[in-house]
Amino acid sequence: QLMVYSKVRVRRSAWRVFRYSSVLVIGLAYFATGGTAMADDMQACLTEMLMQSDDSTTVGELRALCGEQAQLDEPVDQGVEPTSQDIEPAVVSDRLEQDRKQVLQPFTLMAHKPNYFLAAAYNSKGYNPELFREQYADPSRELDDTEAQFQISLKAPLWVDLFEKVDIYAAYTNRSFWQVYNSELSSPFRETNHEPEAWLQFTPSWKILGFSNLANSIGVVHQSNGQGGVLSRSWNRIYANFVFAKGNFALGIKPWIRISESASSDDNPDIIDYMGHFEMRAGYDWKGNVFSVMSRNNIESGFDRGAFEFGWRFPLWKYPYLKGYIQYFRGYGESLIDYNHFVNRVGIGISLTDWL
């Protein structure tokens, strides 16, 4: 019995050596044929299967199992167009995936709102100079109808995976309106809006009417123009933001509540009449062209004091770092100083990042 037991042990040991050697040889041979990425996957699968299987499993069976797994992992490409039910919310999920990768890196700054530069933005209604004349005691002061505009918007993580579900972010957005072509006034900045904010964010992946609800947040935001006197503008809000996606289409709904201020310190007590209580944004990615629209306070005001914005971000040949950008705005609230002035403006320039 002892001899039989010893023979069995020797056979099992020899079988284990054969299995490990076979896996190694197969992996090296496949790697040598030029399939580097696939060989790595096959070798990793074989190693994992080897550790989990019993002594009766053959190398051929392990290879078959790994082959089936590789076929399941490969994208399906049989010339059949996927249905709308098969399409994942790619544009938003890709953006969230980029954020997840970057958020794990220390000292990370990420894009928040779109970052762009409009070299020429023309307002057919003109910008009202009266407040500037009063502020600077200069009755001859004039403003150009064409200026440059740009926006810089960055965010950073403050706390990731709080309660394993919630992330905390902070962001700063700077939007500037530059009278760069106004040489008579030494090309001043007509207006600069500063917007720091902080929010809690979670990604539920709920399904609603065929859309995936990929991100929800609640936060607080301050916006001001850093001016004094008659040019001073500011307000504070608590907001929520709900992001939905389906394929290359994304929809954002952002309601807010203004934090009230005392009458003596409120520079713009009627700002809600023009800015409303929420805005909606939608974006669609078509072959690298990103089309976006924004609607704010149109329904609430009966289309009397609302705002509409359209953006088109398009490729510049095969240059990967910048895209062309056209933006059209019509309505109220283009900037804080013009929250109660009607603007009809179109601009062209370049874009670094977009909503998608």
Active-site residues, by number, are 222, 224
Q: How far apart, in whole angstroms, are the C-alpha atoms of residue 160 and residue 103?
A: 8
* Residue 8 DSSP SS3: helix
Q: How far apart, in whole angstroms, are the C-alpha atoms of residue 123 and residue 300?
A: 25
Does the CA dihedral 211-248-240-235 come out positive or negative? negative
Smallest CA-to-CA distance from 182 within 149, 151, 150, 142 is with 142
Q: How far apart, in whole angstroms, are the C-alpha atoms of residue 173 and residue 114?
A: 9
Helix (H), strand (E) at residue 270: none
Beta strands 278-286; 289-296: pairing state: antiparallel
List all residues 6 or more positions away from 270 whose beta carbon is below 8 Å from its beta carbon: 340
Q: How far apart, in whole angstroms, are the C-alpha atoms of residue 333 and residue 347?
A: 16
